Amino acid sequence: MVPAPRDPEGDHRRGMDRDKLKFAFWLVGSCGVLAVTLAVIDFYVDPASGANLSGIIDMLKLVATTALGFVFGRSLGKGDH
């Protein structure tokens, strides 16, 4: 049996795709943990103090949703583009 020739460019592309997915998963997890933490803080902080964190929480949800879209788009996509 003859071994298949190595494809360094393909190996690099697959490595970069794997690293992008790892970062996207990390970003989703970080945003989730941070959003939950800020929601708990926002729940216990006196509203009269002016600390309204709902805008920041909404921004974190937007970033996490965008990263999830990237993850599902990359994971479910078939073939090379």
CB 27 within 8 A of CB 63: yes
Query: Where do the structural domains in the chain lie, given as residue ranges?
Result: 24-44+51-74
| Burial tier of 31 (Cβ tally within 10 Å: 0-12, 13-18, 19+) | buried
**pTM exceeds 0.85 for this model:** no
Please give the pLDDT value at position 78.
57
Tens of pLDDT, residue by residue, the chain (81 residues)? 777 778 888 888 888 888 888 888 898 889 889 888 888 888 888 777 666 778 888 888 898 888 888 888 877 765 555
